[in-house]
Amino acid sequence: DRGALIPIEVVSLAMRTLWEDEVLARSEERDRRPELCELNKILTAISENPRQKIPADILAVFAIYSARRLSEICRLRWDDLRVNSGTILVRDMKHPRQKKGNNVWCTLPSEAFEIILAMPRTSEFIFPYNPRSVGTAYRRHRDKVGVVDLRFHDFRHEAISRQFEMGKSASFVRKISGHKNGGCLYRYEHVEEEGDKFANWDWHQLILERCKSLH
Protein backbone atom coordinates (compact mmCIF):
# COMPACT_ATOMS: atom_id res chain seq x y z
CA ASP A 1 0.00 0.00 0.00
CA ARG A 2 1.64 3.27 -1.12
CA GLY A 3 -0.18 5.18 1.58
CA ALA A 4 1.15 3.01 4.40
CA LEU A 5 3.29 4.58 7.11
CA ILE A 6 6.53 2.67 7.63
CA PRO A 7 8.72 3.32 10.69
CA ILE A 8 12.02 4.95 9.72
CA GLU A 9 13.94 2.32 11.72
CA VAL A 10 12.50 -0.42 9.48
CA VAL A 11 13.51 1.47 6.33
CA SER A 12 17.02 2.12 7.68
CA LEU A 13 17.52 -1.54 8.57
CA ALA A 14 16.25 -2.63 5.16
CA MET A 15 18.62 -0.22 3.41
CA ARG A 16 21.62 -1.44 5.41
CA THR A 17 20.74 -5.04 4.60
CA LEU A 18 20.37 -4.28 0.87
CA TRP A 19 23.75 -2.54 0.85
CA GLU A 20 25.45 -5.45 2.58
CA ASP A 21 23.81 -8.00 0.28
CA GLU A 22 24.89 -5.92 -2.74
CA VAL A 23 21.32 -5.59 -4.00
CA LEU A 24 21.82 -1.84 -4.25
CA ALA A 25 24.75 -0.49 -6.26
CA ARG A 26 27.54 0.66 -4.00
CA SER A 27 29.48 3.79 -4.79
CA GLU A 28 31.51 4.37 -1.64
CA GLU A 29 35.04 3.09 -1.37
CA ARG A 30 35.83 1.11 1.76
CA ASP A 31 39.14 0.19 3.27
CA ARG A 32 37.81 -2.01 6.09
CA ARG A 33 39.91 -5.14 6.42
CA PRO A 34 39.36 -7.89 8.98
CA GLU A 35 41.83 -8.70 11.71
CA LEU A 36 42.54 -12.38 12.26
CA CYS A 37 41.16 -12.21 15.78
CA GLU A 38 37.86 -10.87 14.40
CA LEU A 39 37.64 -13.64 11.83
CA ASN A 40 38.42 -16.25 14.47
CA LYS A 41 35.54 -15.01 16.62
CA ILE A 42 33.02 -14.99 13.77
CA LEU A 43 34.04 -18.32 12.27
CA THR A 44 34.11 -20.03 15.66
CA ALA A 45 30.62 -18.73 16.47
CA ILE A 46 29.25 -20.06 13.16
CA SER A 47 30.94 -23.45 13.27
CA GLU A 48 30.05 -24.10 16.91
CA ASN A 49 26.37 -23.20 16.52
CA PRO A 50 24.50 -26.53 16.22
CA ARG A 51 21.40 -24.75 14.91
CA GLN A 52 23.29 -23.15 12.01
CA LYS A 53 22.57 -25.37 9.00
CA ILE A 54 24.08 -23.21 6.24
CA PRO A 55 27.91 -23.38 6.43
CA ALA A 56 28.41 -19.62 6.27
CA ASP A 57 31.91 -20.11 7.69
CA ILE A 58 32.94 -22.10 4.60
CA LEU A 59 31.64 -19.42 2.24
CA ALA A 60 33.32 -16.65 4.25
CA VAL A 61 36.73 -18.33 4.11
CA PHE A 62 36.24 -19.11 0.42
CA ALA A 63 35.50 -15.42 -0.19
CA ILE A 64 38.65 -14.39 1.69
CA TYR A 65 40.78 -16.57 -0.57
CA SER A 66 38.90 -16.29 -3.88
CA ALA A 67 37.91 -12.59 -4.01
CA ARG A 68 34.41 -13.61 -5.08
CA ARG A 69 31.27 -11.74 -4.09
CA LEU A 70 28.69 -13.72 -2.11
CA SER A 71 26.18 -13.70 -4.98
CA GLU A 72 28.88 -15.02 -7.34
CA ILE A 73 29.92 -17.78 -4.93
CA CYS A 74 26.39 -19.14 -4.79
CA ARG A 75 26.23 -19.21 -8.63
CA LEU A 76 29.44 -21.16 -9.19
CA ARG A 77 28.77 -24.42 -11.08
CA TRP A 78 30.66 -27.68 -11.17
CA ASP A 79 30.38 -27.74 -14.95
CA ASP A 80 32.19 -24.38 -15.11
CA LEU A 81 35.21 -25.60 -13.15
CA ARG A 82 38.38 -26.37 -15.10
CA VAL A 83 40.45 -28.56 -12.81
CA ASN A 84 43.52 -28.72 -15.06
CA SER A 85 43.93 -24.95 -15.23
CA GLY A 86 42.52 -24.08 -11.79
CA THR A 87 40.01 -21.67 -13.30
CA ILE A 88 36.25 -21.22 -13.07
CA LEU A 89 33.64 -19.33 -15.06
CA VAL A 90 32.01 -16.63 -12.93
CA ARG A 91 28.60 -16.05 -14.46
CA ASP A 92 26.88 -12.66 -14.48
CA MET A 93 29.75 -10.94 -12.73
CA LYS A 94 28.76 -7.54 -11.41
CA HIS A 95 29.35 -4.84 -14.01
CA PRO A 96 28.37 -1.14 -13.91
CA ARG A 97 26.59 -1.30 -17.30
CA GLN A 98 26.02 -5.00 -18.02
CA LYS A 99 23.52 -6.64 -15.72
CA LYS A 100 23.46 -10.10 -17.36
CA GLY A 101 25.80 -12.15 -19.47
CA ASN A 102 29.07 -10.76 -18.11
CA ASN A 103 30.66 -14.19 -17.77
CA VAL A 104 34.35 -14.11 -16.87
CA TRP A 105 36.94 -16.88 -16.50
CA CYS A 106 38.82 -16.35 -13.24
CA THR A 107 41.86 -18.00 -11.70
CA LEU A 108 41.32 -19.72 -8.36
CA PRO A 109 44.03 -19.18 -5.74
CA SER A 110 45.23 -22.55 -4.47
CA GLU A 111 43.40 -22.27 -1.14
CA ALA A 112 40.07 -21.50 -2.84
CA PHE A 113 40.64 -24.34 -5.31
CA GLU A 114 41.21 -26.75 -2.41
CA ILE A 115 37.95 -25.72 -0.77
CA ILE A 116 36.01 -26.39 -3.97
CA LEU A 117 37.58 -29.82 -4.37
CA ALA A 118 36.68 -30.66 -0.76
CA MET A 119 33.00 -29.77 -1.24
CA PRO A 120 30.46 -32.56 -1.84
CA ARG A 121 28.83 -32.65 -5.27
CA THR A 122 25.17 -32.57 -4.27
CA SER A 123 23.88 -30.09 -6.85
CA GLU A 124 24.80 -28.39 -10.10
CA PHE A 125 26.06 -25.58 -7.88
CA ILE A 126 29.26 -25.92 -5.86
CA PHE A 127 27.81 -23.90 -2.99
CA PRO A 128 24.05 -24.57 -3.27
CA TYR A 129 22.87 -21.94 -0.82
CA ASN A 130 20.72 -18.82 -0.97
CA PRO A 131 23.06 -15.81 -0.73
CA ARG A 132 20.49 -13.83 1.27
CA SER A 133 20.36 -16.60 3.87
CA VAL A 134 24.15 -16.82 4.00
CA GLY A 135 24.41 -13.06 4.44
CA THR A 136 21.85 -13.12 7.25
CA ALA A 137 23.68 -15.94 9.03
CA TYR A 138 27.00 -14.15 8.69
CA ARG A 139 25.65 -10.87 10.09
CA ARG A 140 23.90 -12.60 12.98
CA HIS A 141 27.10 -14.27 14.18
CA ARG A 142 29.24 -11.21 13.47
CA ASP A 143 26.97 -9.08 15.61
CA LYS A 144 26.76 -11.75 18.29
CA VAL A 145 30.54 -11.68 18.87
CA GLY A 146 30.68 -7.88 18.72
CA VAL A 147 32.64 -7.34 15.52
CA VAL A 148 31.70 -3.91 14.16
CA ASP A 149 31.24 -2.86 10.54
CA LEU A 150 32.76 -5.89 8.81
CA ARG A 151 30.69 -6.72 5.74
CA PHE A 152 30.88 -9.94 3.77
CA HIS A 153 31.84 -7.85 0.74
CA ASP A 154 34.93 -6.64 2.64
CA PHE A 155 36.37 -10.12 2.13
CA ARG A 156 36.75 -9.30 -1.57
CA HIS A 157 38.84 -6.29 -0.61
CA GLU A 158 40.85 -8.51 1.70
CA ALA A 159 41.51 -11.14 -0.96
CA ILE A 160 42.70 -8.58 -3.51
CA SER A 161 44.86 -6.70 -1.02
CA ARG A 162 46.39 -9.99 0.10
CA GLN A 163 47.53 -10.79 -3.42
CA PHE A 164 49.24 -7.40 -3.72
CA GLU A 165 50.87 -7.82 -0.32
CA MET A 166 52.30 -11.14 -1.51
CA GLY A 167 53.95 -9.26 -4.35
CA LYS A 168 51.64 -10.28 -7.20
CA SER A 169 51.38 -8.02 -10.22
CA ALA A 170 48.19 -6.18 -11.19
CA SER A 171 47.82 -8.33 -14.32
CA PHE A 172 48.00 -11.47 -12.16
CA VAL A 173 45.51 -10.14 -9.60
CA ARG A 174 43.04 -9.19 -12.36
CA LYS A 175 42.92 -12.86 -13.40
CA ILE A 176 41.68 -13.66 -9.90
CA SER A 177 39.37 -10.69 -9.32
CA GLY A 178 37.92 -10.57 -12.85
CA HIS A 179 38.52 -6.84 -13.29
CA LYS A 180 38.91 -5.67 -16.86
CA ASN A 181 41.17 -2.72 -16.03
CA GLY A 182 43.48 -1.51 -13.31
CA GLY A 183 41.39 1.52 -12.38
CA CYS A 184 38.54 -0.56 -10.99
CA LEU A 185 40.99 -3.01 -9.44
CA TYR A 186 42.91 -0.45 -7.45
CA ARG A 187 39.84 0.83 -5.60
CA TYR A 188 39.84 -2.57 -3.86
CA GLU A 189 43.53 -2.66 -3.09
CA HIS A 190 44.52 -1.52 0.41
CA VAL A 191 48.01 -2.79 1.09
CA GLU A 192 49.11 -2.66 4.71
CA GLU A 193 52.29 -4.75 4.81
CA GLU A 194 54.31 -7.22 2.79
CA GLY A 195 53.86 -10.97 3.09
CA ASP A 196 50.93 -13.35 3.52
CA LYS A 197 48.65 -12.35 6.36
CA PHE A 198 47.03 -15.78 6.21
CA ALA A 199 50.16 -17.93 6.18
CA ASN A 200 49.61 -20.94 8.45
CA TRP A 201 46.10 -19.74 9.31
CA ASP A 202 44.36 -22.49 11.28
CA TRP A 203 41.04 -21.89 9.55
CA HIS A 204 42.37 -23.00 6.18
CA GLN A 205 42.65 -26.61 7.33
CA LEU A 206 39.61 -26.40 9.61
CA ILE A 207 37.42 -25.31 6.70
CA LEU A 208 38.71 -28.14 4.49
CA GLU A 209 37.66 -30.55 7.23
CA ARG A 210 34.29 -28.80 7.50
CA CYS A 211 33.75 -29.27 3.77
CA LYS A 212 34.48 -33.00 4.05
CA SER A 213 32.04 -33.31 6.96
CA LEU A 214 29.25 -32.26 4.57
CA HIS A 215 29.68 -35.43 2.50
Beta-bridge partners for 29: none
Q: What is the mean pLDDT of residues 61-88?
A: 97
| pLDDT at residue 191, rounded to an integer | 78
Q: Residue 28: its pLDDT value, please?
A: 58
Note the pLDDT tens digit of each residue in 9-53: 666 666 566 555 555 445 457 889 999 999 999 999 999 999 999
Q: What are the pLDDT digits (tens) for 138-165?
A: 999 999 999 999 999 999 999 999 999 9
Q: What is the DSSP string of 29-85?
A: -------HHHHHHHHHHHHT-TT--S-HHHHHHHHHHH---HHHHTT-BGGGEETTT
pLDDT at 3 > cutoff 80: no
Q: What is the pLDDT of residue 66?
A: 98
Interval 101-140: pLDDT, tens: 689 999 999 999 999 999 999 999 999 999 999 999 999 9
pTM of the model: 0.84
> 1 pLDDT exceeds 90?
no
| pLDDT: which is higher, 40 or 187 | 40
Element (H, E) at 9: helix 8-20
* Cα 37 to Cα 165: distance, rounded to the nearest angstrom: 19
